[in-house]
Amino acid sequence: MAFKERVFSGMQPTGSLHLGNYLGAMLQWIKLQETHECIYCVVDLHAITVWQDPGELKDAIRKVTAAYIACGLDPQRSILFNQSQVSEHAELAWVFNCVARLGWLNRMTQFKEKAGKDRENASVGLYVYPDLMAADILAYKATHVPVGDDQKQHLELARDIAQKFNNDFGKWIEKAGHADGLFFPQPEPVITGPATRVMSLRDGTKKMSKSEPSDMSRINLMDDTDAIADKIKRAKTDMEPAPPSNLEELKARPEVDNLVGIYAALAGSTKEEALGVLIATAKEGPSIFTGLKRALTEAAVEKLGPIRAEIVRLMDDPAEIDRILADGSQRARAIARPILDEVKDIVGFVRS
Ligand code: AQP
């Protein structure tokens, strides 16, 4: 069966969005609006898998929504909403908790990284996070999921869950009128561009993240010109006396590779062209990275300045943001409800 092409993705309101979220996911989200029906969610149920201050969470949900719109998501064309207002996500996640296998979840590297050494103290929600993510996507039978590279493994799990559900309930899926026995599609990851994994400015081996304690490790969409300039100026590089002369050499120098990748994504060029800027400016001094850092600062300020101003303007009217989320939730539920009703019939629940 050919499933209708539909895009779903989300971000957690666990702090202010950063350049990694913007370049890794948001740029694709914006582009996909031109060609697809898109559903973009503020995943607040995911956020509480680690402790969130309730007083700050509401504000963070509105800020992420404002950031979505300021970056270029159109609430008329796309569906924008927060996850907790559409209970179908949580309902389907429970069914998927019963479809997914412990062994599958045990392999998830994000849980291992986030739980760290204190595993026994991690929430159960953090452990079953990938089941909820599969439910987010499949509650809409979404076929395409634009994400950063770090979400690849979770997407593979969503595909496994879709397949196992189709296999386990094949007979009942057919009885429900799906002659080919396929109820859920296999959602495709959309991971493209020169910055699918933006790394920390302080450590080229760790991804840029909202929850990293050092604010110097990331550029936030809310950072002003001075903060952006300061963070890029202090961004870690290396002690090599010359710039890498080709992409192969660049790969072996993670911090430099990261800055070149970020510059390429912001300037809309290839990584090779961005490396060309580093090579061409390396003699300017005082450091071989001064020219690239200057160009990178200019590009970041040019791109993020207007976004920041628009977030501030939108946050002036929280009631309007709540209205957009309420409207988006209604439209999202109109798609998810009938899918969930069918899931209940297939699984064997009685419903009135
Ligand atoms: N560093 C990154 N580079 C590229 N893409 C990234 N994404 C996140 N960090 C990077 C992508 O942004 C989308 C939303 O991510 P999220 O908010 O759901 O959570 P996350 O992946 O766990 O991101 P953070 O910033 O690291 O949040 P915390 O610190 O709260 O866990 C996803 O598509 C993600 O791939």
Determine the 3-state secondary structure of 235 from DSSP. coil
pLDDT digits (tens, 9 = 90+) for 255-280: 999 999 999 999 999 999 999 999 99
Q: What is the mean pLDDT of residues 181-208?
A: 94
Check 4, 31, 206, 207 and give the catalytic one: 207
Residue 193's pLDDT is 83
> Does ligand 1 come within 6 angstroms of the Cβ of 24?
yes
The domain locations on the chain are 6-196+317-347, 225-312
114 has catalytic annotation: yes
Q: Where are the alpha helices (DSSP H) in the chain?
A: 19-21, 27-32, 44-47, 54-71, 88-99, 102-106, 109-115, 124-127, 129-138, 152-168, 170-175, 225-233, 247-251, 254-267, 271-281, 290-315, 318-347
Is the Cβ atom of 210 under 6 angstroms away from ligand 1? yes
Give CATH superfamily name and number for 225-312: Tyrosyl-Transfer RNA Synthetase (1.10.240.10)
pLDDT of residue 115: 92
Q: Is 80 in the pocket of ligand 1 (CB under 6 A)?
A: no
- pTM for the structure as a whole: 0.95
Dist. CA 192–CA 157, nearest whole Å = 20
User: Which residues make beta-bridge pairs with 9?
Assistant: 40
Question: What's the pLDDT score for residue 218?
Answer: 97
Q: 1 pLDDT exceeds 70?
A: no
Q: Is the pLDDT of residue 281 over 90?
A: yes
Strand partners, 144: 7, 188
Please state the atom number of ligand 1 nearest to the C-alpha of residue 14: 30
pLDDT tens track for 24-76:
999 999 999 999 999 999 999 999 999 999 999 999 999 999 999 999 999 99
Q: What's the CATH code, domain 6-196+317-347?
A: 3.40.50.620
**At 16, is the pLDDT very low, low, confident or very high (cuts 50, 70, 90)?**
confident
Across the range 127-139, mean pLDDT stands at 98
Please say if 233 is a catalytic residue: no
Which H helix or E strand runs over 6?
strand 6-11
323: tokens are 């209205």
Task: Write the pLDDT tens digit of every residue in 244-254.
Answer: 999 999 999 99
SS3 label, residue 61: helix
Cα-based distances in Å from 206 to 27, 137, 255, 309: 21, 27, 10, 29
9 sits in the region (left: phi over 0; alpha: psi -120 to 50; else beta) called beta
Quick check: is 141 catalytic? no
> Which atom of ligand 1 is closest in space to residue 149's alpha carbon?
35
